[in-house]
Chain A
Amino acid sequence: MAKRIVSVTSITPTATADTTNLVDSAAAAGYVCVVQPGTTTQRVQILEIYQGGQAGASTPTFMVLSRDSQVGTGSNTRMTGQTDSNLDANTAALAAPVLTGNLFATNKPQRGVNDHLLNLSFNAFGGIVRWVAAPGEEITVYGTAALIGEVSLSAFTGGTTGLMGAHLIYEPY
């Protein structure tokens, strides 16, 4: 299909334990994004994640990409500074857009206990983290069911979360 990028210019993620509601991203706090397919049969692959520190003091930030044991429901909207756009200018609009916003109206996403996929901890005081999947080795998200139908990029407890920017590149099918 077509690659898309969800980007957050500036956020201080809220450290949250597993199986606990992720805090809605308002006032530049909360979580970076989720990736939830737009239909029960849509498949999405995650290709790349980048995080760049913007903090003014040392802040070890424990970022985790995880499958969610509770998926977000209700209206999905974005915090100021979060965008989702196509990488290629000629990409047609999707009939069923992938949900990538970081505010849910009803159920909030919750990370699964045994479902962390990728640990992207770094120091947000000048640290940079970038992960790129090998072709064919991307992380797959399918449908809208718990543990398979949503992943979230959020901060785990411990450390001191710091101001950071991030992007995530994905491709829906």
Chain B
Amino acid sequence: MKSKRSQEGYLLIDHSNSPGIPDDIAIPSGLPAGIGRGKQELPTFTCSHCQFVLIMNPLRTRERGYCPKCDHYVCDKCNGIRVMTGECRTFSQIVDDKHEEVIKQESLIRLF
């Protein structure tokens, strides 16, 4: 049986021999507080709907976005859309649709 932890990527940010990044710079650039100090090894996940890579905040208490249809974690933005519409459209489906579109266009060009 597949575990959701098997979907976790790995992020190492090592400032153990560096002044690092202060929080007033790190937070506005989208990184969690404290990440710019010392050595941080963090799990990440790739949103299956948009492929945005998120750092999993170990201190998060809110429920993490999860799509039961594709059995993947999703980012907060995609989770909002999923809750509103009930739609699950993974990035793999977007790529497949694009592929079909390109193949159709190429076959039309060959016909004419």
CB contact between B9 and one of A62, A129, A132 (< 8 Å): that residue: A132
Nearest chain B CB to A132 CB, angstrom units: 5
In the complex, what residues of B have CB within 8 A of residue A105's CB? Answer: none
Q: Does A94 contact B (CB under 8 A)?
A: no
Q: Does A137 contact B (CB under 8 A)?
A: yes
A134 touches B13 (CB 8 A): no
Q: Does A2 contact B (CB under 8 A)?
A: no
Q: How large is the interface on A (under 10, 10 to 19, 20 to 34, 35 or more residues)?
A: 35 or more
B53 touches A131 (CB 8 A): yes
Of the listed stretches B15-23, B57-65, B79-87, name the one at the interface; the rest are far from the partner chain: B15-23
Nearest chain A CB to B5 CB, angstrom units: 9
Report the bound CA distance from A121 to B20 in whole Å.
Answer: 10
8 Å CB interface, A125-144 against B: 125-140, 142-143
In the complex, what residues of A have CB within 8 A of residue B46's CB? Answer: 133-134, 137-139
Report the bound CA distance from A43 to B12 in whole Å.
Answer: 27
A128 touches B14 (CB 8 A): yes
In the complex, what residues of A have CB within 8 A of residue B9's CB? Answer: 131-134, 137
Q: Contact flags (1/0) for B43-58 with A, using CB distance below 8 Å?
A: 0111000011100000
Q: Does B99 contact A (CB under 8 A)?
A: yes
Q: Does A113 contact B (CB under 8 A)?
A: no
Report the bound CA distance from A156 to B92 in whole Å.
Answer: 28
Nearest chain A CB to B30 CB, angstrom units: 5
In the complex, what residues of B have CB within 8 A of residue A53's CB? Answer: 18
A145 touches B98 (CB 8 A): yes
Report the bound CA distance from A116 to B6 in whole Å.
Answer: 24
Q: Does A58 contact B (CB under 8 A)?
A: yes
Report the bound CA distance from A62 to B28 in whole Å.
Answer: 11
A60 touches B44 (CB 8 A): no
B contact residues vs A (CB 8 Å cutoff):
6-15, 17-22, 25-26, 28-31, 36, 44-46, 51-53, 91-92, 94-95, 98-99, 102-103, 106
Query: Which 7 residue pairs across A and B have the least CB separation, nearest first?
Result: A126-B18, A128-B14, A137-B46, A118-B53, A127-B18, A130-B12, A126-B17
Q: List 20 A-B contacts (CB under 8 A).
A: A41-B99, A41-B103, A43-B95, A119-B30, A122-B18, A123-B15, A123-B18, A127-B13, A127-B15, A127-B18, A127-B20, A128-B13, A131-B10, A131-B12, A131-B53, A132-B10, A134-B8, A134-B46, A145-B98, A159-B29
